[in-house]
C-alpha cells in the first residue's frame, strides 16, 4: 500500500474519531482565510487618509533629530537644507523635555519649538484656537483633552506660564 492511499484511508477515519478537533481546525483555517482576504481587499483604504493628513499638514518626508545640543549640532542639522534636491525645509527647532502643569496635574511632555509663522512643511493642523505666538503654546488635541485643557487655558511649562 502506498503512502498516499494510506493517508487517504486514515484521514477520514481520524476525522470521524476526533470530530471536535476537526471542527476547530476547520474553523481556524476559515477564520485565517477570511481575515487574509479582508486585509488584502482593504489594501489602499488607509493610504487615502494618510494622504489627506499629509496634504493638510504639509508633512515632511524626512525629520532629522539629534540627542546633542550646541551650535555645531544646529549647523549640522541645518546643512541638509542647502542641498539642491531639498524643495522646502522647516527649522531646526529645539526639542525640550520639561514638566507641564495644569491646575493640580503634572505631566512630562516633549516640547517642540516652532516659529511664530507656520513653515512650508510640517504645519500641524489647527482644529481650534490659533497658531503659537510669543509666550503661547499649542497642545496636541488628544493631550489637551486628557489634561482637560481648552483654548485660552493657562498651562505652566518648565516653570513658565
Rounded-to-integer distance, Cα 94 and Cα 107, Å: 19
Classify residue 84: in a domain, yes or no: no
Classify residue 57: in a domain, yes or no: no
Q: What is the DSSP letter of 70?
A: S
- For residue 24, the model assigns a pLDDT of 92
**Domain boundaries, position 18:** 3-43
Classify residue 143: in a domain, yes or no: no
Classify residue 17: in a domain, yes or no: yes
Classify residue 94: in a domain, yes or no: no
Classify residue 14: in a domain, yes or no: yes
Classify residue 22: in a domain, yes or no: yes
pLDDT under 70 in the chain at which residues? Answer: 1
Q: What is the pTM of this model?
A: 0.52
Q: How many domains does the chain have?
A: 1
Classify residue 35: in a domain, yes or no: yes
Rounded-to-integer distance, Cα 92 and Cα 95, Å: 10
- For residue 29, the model assigns a pLDDT of 95
- For residue 15, the model assigns a pLDDT of 81
Amino acid at each position: 500500500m502506498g503512502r498516499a492511499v494510506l493517508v487517504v484511508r486514515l484521514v477520514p477515519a481520524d476525522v470521524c474519531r476526533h470530530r471536535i478537533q476537526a471542527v476547530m481546525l476547520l474553523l481556524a483555517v476559515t477564520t485565517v482565510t477570511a481575515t487574509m482576504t479582508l486585509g488584502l481587499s482593504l489594501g489602499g483604504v488607509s493610504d487615502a487618509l494618510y494622504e489627506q493628513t499629509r496634504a493638510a499638514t504639509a508633512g515632511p518626508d524626512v525629520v532629522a533629530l539629534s540627542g546633542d545640543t550646541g551650535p555645531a549640532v544646529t549647523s549640522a542639522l541645518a546643512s541638509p537644507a542647502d542641498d539642491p534636491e531639498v524643495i522646502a525645509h522647516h527649522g531646526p527647532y529645539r526639542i525640550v523635555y520639561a514638566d507641564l502643569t495644569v491646575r493640580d496635574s503634572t505631566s512630562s511632555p516633549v516640547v517642540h519649538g516652532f516659529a511664530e509663522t507656520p513653515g512650508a512643511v510640517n504645519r500641524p493642523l489647527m482644529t481650534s484656537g490659533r497658531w503659537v505666538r510669543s509666550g503661547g503654546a499649542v497642545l496636541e488635541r488628544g493631550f489637551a483633552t486628557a489634561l482637560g485643557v481648552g483654548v485660552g487655558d493657562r498651562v505652566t511649562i518648565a516653570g513658565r506660564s
